[in-house]
């Protein structure tokens, strides 16, 4: 599968090591349809490819938005991209968050660190169809107030009457009036009907593990909990073998899994 | 797939001397014959000019952690079994450019890499190797995504199978029903008869193309005794196998035993060298590598074989998901004999025995699975 | 308006306590309402109260010379604040400050200690609850140590 050339139309610095690229197709169809939770392989000539989740609005398929943390060779090169540069895109790959299937339910959207990026399309979709859902609770954790991704957007969401946004950090200076403590402490504060609620979780493995425990303590069932997993992905097609987790190829059977399906593997070590 | 019994069907006897005619015919039809040959003392698969390139009069001794080429007493063409290379060398090469990229005037274009795929004639494909090709077909041709190079190579290739009349110590195809006789997936299948009655090949055609080729060869009718002799030899090759792999309870057995103490035991022996996966005819993991010119204007994306015994196989930013050799061996075995069934509806093992032969620590997956079948000793 | 005893019973820390035990605790308790940004206690001060938070939020912080306050934990409704008096030298280990208007039940530590001496059954009941709260806090603080959001 060949990359398609996309032009960088906006570079935005989010955090010290995190940035957002907005892309538009260089040629071919002017739209790029995707579903929340899917990812693309971004290709920079000379550096290679890297899997990055799509963090833009699915209702605006003319612009492809990726939030990237510069942690490696390819992401480091992508960080130097500026408007006008051309990069390659393959995708979209993977399973989406079950946004349409969850209509009518209460939602807990629980994320930590950069995990907010793959869930932002869910938030956009839910807000675009807000009356169709019950209570919506967003829980977001980061190391410090300086590490909060999409801070202005979070503040805007927090100002809405039809959404509860809980933000917490691991430690903060005196100017921080928000919560301090891990995200799991906020789960008991959510107002949901556990019989009709679903949780969508994305963050580092350790965070998801403890979040799942706390959600189950609250009464959610494994089938009502969805997680998005991260693995080494080099093809996106279920062929290169790197992203395997038990019988699954995370790139095509995931990255979004119901906990009912992935739980037994999620709990094993070094698989 | 295959079973140790010979098929009936279009059969003929080809005198050994007519083997040259087969090669000439294949060349005439435009095929590039490739098959086993000895290069620098190693049994490899490579281009063959004719039957003289085959390791005639040689035999293999293959046991866990041990491989030797020895002279035979007779002049059989096919008196050896498997070397370390399998046909995936051609169908799914170790290094293959797949995409090229070029910058020009601020734009970048991408194109599939041009790979010339000659129409190969695979000479001497053993039954277990046909099974391996059948398995890779399921992965690379039958899934939602088709590997274009594999498809092109596979479609063009002609397969001349050879039934095994002897087994190596490492072989366990009989227990998996993948050999020692070829029953499907070939154009022609040969059984070599080399003894006091003369030197012949019993030939079966497995396709219309095979039948057409066979019609052009100087053949004789099969005599009852020759048929019996071939059957007896193949049956003996099956019976002589001492190793076996029991597949009952898979994959659940392995899924349930990820914490079995045997994994620690094997990890203490495993060097994580990855030989087992590299010689495996069904392993398909690959990584992508980028190669550019000095000015960073053109680039090729290469597909390279990768193995799950490599630490970097499980790398994601910040660390490795399988840092221990225990976890990596467990991944390999659990995939081959477990997850493969869920993913592709078949085992990832054909009973060829290469993984144990080429393991420097002589780790034998049939023994490992047997040990894993035993419940851990109670405290 | 609910009685003090009912208010006590409604707090998760005391949930399930027998009416008899609740009655015994009532004399130790008083209701407090604190404005936002008010210091509740400061590190090193004598620790004499236990606060059962009913609403609002409280930040626990440590002062670092030249670098100011660092908040390491926030508490809210249902949480328990202030167990420094459980051990010698009965001093506060953190600074506590309200982030918003906060209502709480203040329990006099000496009063609770006397009650527990006199009524070991109640003392054991309370101690169990303290241990549960402390274990929960230790677990959460451990999670804060592992770079929960890092990679």
C87 belongs to a structural domain: yes
Instruction: Pick the residue from chain B with its C-alpha nearest to A7.
Output: B107
Question: What CA–CA distance (Å, rounded) separates B45 from B357?
Answer: 17
Q: Which residues of C touch B317 (CB under 8 A)?
A: 151
DSSP-derived letter for residue A96 is P
pLDDT at res. B224? 83
CATH fold of A106-228, please? Rossmann fold (3.40.50)
The mean pLDDT of B26-51, rounded to a whole number, is: 96
How far does C103 lie from chain A, in Å, by closest CA? 17
Q: Which residues of B touch A46 (CB under 8 A)?
A: 290, 292, 296, 299
pLDDT at res. B2? 40
The ranges assigned to domains in chain B are 11-239, 252-373
pLDDT-flagged residues of chain C (< 50) = none
Answer yes or no: are the C-beta atoms of B184 and B363 closer than 8 Å. no
**Residue C90, domain CATH:** 2.60.120.10
Give B131-143 pLDDT, tens digit per residue: 999 999 999 999 8
Evaluated on CA atoms B142, B145, B147, B152, the torsion sign reads positive
Q: Which residues of B touch C151 (CB under 8 A)?
A: 316-319
Q: Is the ipTM, as predicted for this complex, more than 0.90?
A: yes
Confidence of residue A30 (pLDDT cuts 50, 70, 90): confident
Answer yes or no: are the C-beta atoms of B134 and B348 closer than 8 Å. no
pLDDT at res. B367? 97
| pLDDT reading at B159 higher than 70 | yes
| Chain A residues with a Cβ under 8 Å from any Cβ in chain C | 71, 112-115, 141-143, 147, 168, 170-174, 176-185, 188-189, 203-204, 206-207, 210
Instruction: Tell which B residues from 174 to 193 touch A, by Cβ distance under 8 Å.
Output: none
How far does A50 lie from chain B, in Å, by closest CA? 10
| pLDDT reading at B1 higher than 50 | no
| pLDDT reading at B49 higher than 70 | yes
How far does A155 lie from chain B, in Å, by closest CA? 30
Count of domains observed in chain C? 1
Chains near A with 3+ CB pairs less than 8 A apart are: B, C
Q: Closest Cα to residue B186, out of B326, B364, B1? A: B1
Evaluated on CA atoms B6, B9, B15, B18, the torsion sign reads negative
Give B219-244 pLDDT, tens digit per residue: 999 988 888 899 999 999 999 999 99
Of residues C145 and B283, more confidently modeled: B283
Q: CA B338 → CA B247, B259, B354, C12, distances in Å?
A: 9, 15, 19, 48
Owning domain of residue C65:
4-145
The mean pLDDT of B112-128, rounded to a whole number, is: 96
Q: Give ranges for CATH 2.40.30.10 in chain A.
A: 4-93
Pick among A116, A145, A182 to test the C interface (most C CBs inside 10 A): A182
The CATH code that applies to domain A4-93 is 2.40.30.10
Q: Which residues of B touch C148 (CB under 8 A)?
A: none
Q: Give ranges for CATH 3.40.50.80 in chain A.
A: 106-228
């Amino acid at each position: 599968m060949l990359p398609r050339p996309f032009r960088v139309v906006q570079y935005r610095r989010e955090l010290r090591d995190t940035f957002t690229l907005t892309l538009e197709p260089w040629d071919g169809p002017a739209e790029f349809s995707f579903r929340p939770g899917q990812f693309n392989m971004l290709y920079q000539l000379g550096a290679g490819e890297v899997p990055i989740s799509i963090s833009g609005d699915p209702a605006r398929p003319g612009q492809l938005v990726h939030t990237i943390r510069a942690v490696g060779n390819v992401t480091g090169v992508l960080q130097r991209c500026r408007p006008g540069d051309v990069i390659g895109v393959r995708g979209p790959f993977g399973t989406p968050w079950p946004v349409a299937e969850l209509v009518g339910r209460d939602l807990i959207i629980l994320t930590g660190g950069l995990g907010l990026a793959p869930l932002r399309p869910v938030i956009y979709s839910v807000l675009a169809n807000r009356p169709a859902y019950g209570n919506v609770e967003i829980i977001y954790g980061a190391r410090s107030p300086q590490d909060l991704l999409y801070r202005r957007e979070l503040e805007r969401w927090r100002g809405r009457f039809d959404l509860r946004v809980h933000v917490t950090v691991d430690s903060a200076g005196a100017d921080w009036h928000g919560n301090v403590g891990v995200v799991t402490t906020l789960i008991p504060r959510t107002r949901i009907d556990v019989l009709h609620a679903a949780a969508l979780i994305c963050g580092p493995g350790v965070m998801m593990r403890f979040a799942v425990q706390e959600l189950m303590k609250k009464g959610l069932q494994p089938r009502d909990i969805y997680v998005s997993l991260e693995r080494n992905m080099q093809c996106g097609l279920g062929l290169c073998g790197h992203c395997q987790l038990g019988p699954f190829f995370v790139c095509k059977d995931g990255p979004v899994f119901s906990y009912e399906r992935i739980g037994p593997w999620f709990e094993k070590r070094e698989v | 797939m295959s079973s140790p019994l010979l098929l009936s069907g279009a059969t003929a006897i080809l005198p050994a001397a007519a083997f040259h005619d087969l090669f000439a015919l294949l060349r005439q039809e435009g095929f590039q014959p490739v098959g086993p040959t000895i290069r620098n003392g190693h049994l490899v698969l490579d281009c063959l000019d004719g039957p003289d390139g085959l390791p005639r009069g040689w035999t293999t001794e293959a046991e866990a952690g041990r491989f030797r080429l020895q002279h035979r007493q007779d002049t059989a063409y096919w008196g050896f079994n498997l070397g370390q290379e399998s046909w995936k060398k051609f169908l799914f090469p170790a290094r293959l450019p797949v995409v090229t990229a070029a910058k020009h005037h601020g734009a970048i274009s991408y194109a599939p890499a041009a790979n010339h795929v000659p129409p190969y004639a695979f000479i001497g494909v053993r039954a277990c190797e046909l099974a391996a090709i059948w398995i890779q077909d399921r992965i690379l041709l039958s899934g939602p995504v088709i590997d274009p190079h594999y498809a092109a190579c596979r479609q063009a290739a002609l397969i001349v199978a050879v039934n095994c009349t002897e087994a190596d110590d490492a072989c366990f195809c009989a227990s998996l029903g993948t050999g020692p006789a070829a029953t499907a997936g070939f154009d022609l299948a040969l059984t070599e008869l080399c003894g006091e009655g003369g030197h012949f090949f019993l030939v079966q055609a497995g396709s219309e193309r095979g039948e057409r080729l066979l019609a052009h060869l100087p053949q004789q009718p099969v005599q009852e005794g020759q048929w019996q002799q071939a059957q007896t030899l193949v049956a003996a090759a099956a019976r002589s196998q001492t190793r076996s792999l029991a597949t009952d309870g898979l994959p659940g057995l392995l899924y349930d035993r990820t914490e079995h103490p045997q994994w620690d035991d094997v990890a203490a022996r495993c060097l994580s060298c990855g030989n087992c996966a590299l010689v495996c005819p069904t392993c398909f993991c690959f990584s992508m590598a980028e190669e550019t010119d000095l000015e960073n204007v053109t680039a090729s994306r290469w597909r390279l074989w990768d193995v799950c015994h490599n630490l970097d196989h499980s790398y994601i930013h910040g660390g490795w998901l399988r840092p221990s050799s225990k976890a990596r061996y467990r991944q390999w075995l659990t995939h081959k004999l477990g997850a493969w069934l869920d993913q592709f509806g078949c085992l990832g093992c054909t009973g060829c025995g290469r993984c144990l032969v080429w393991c420097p620590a002589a780790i034998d997956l049939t023994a490992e699975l047997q040990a894993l079948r035993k419940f851990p000793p109670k405290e | 308006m609910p009685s003090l005893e009912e208010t006590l019973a409604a707090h998760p820390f005391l949930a399930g306590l027998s009416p008899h035990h609740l009655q015994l605790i009532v004399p130790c308790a008083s209701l407090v309402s604190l404005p936002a940004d008010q210091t509740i206690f400061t590190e090193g001060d004598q620790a004499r109260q236990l606060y059962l938070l009913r609403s609002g939020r409280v930040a626990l912080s440590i002062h670092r010379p030249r670098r100011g306050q660092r908040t390491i934990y926030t508490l809210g409704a249902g949480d328990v604040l202030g167990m420094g008096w459980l051990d010698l030298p009965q001093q506060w280990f953190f600074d506590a400050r309200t982030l918003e208007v906060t209502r709480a039940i203040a329990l006099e530590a000496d009063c609770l200690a006397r009650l527990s001496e006199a009524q070991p059954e109640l003392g054991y009941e309370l101690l169990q609850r303290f241990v549960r709260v402390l274990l929960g806090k230790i677990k959460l603080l451990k999670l804060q140590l592992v770079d929960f959001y890092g990679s």
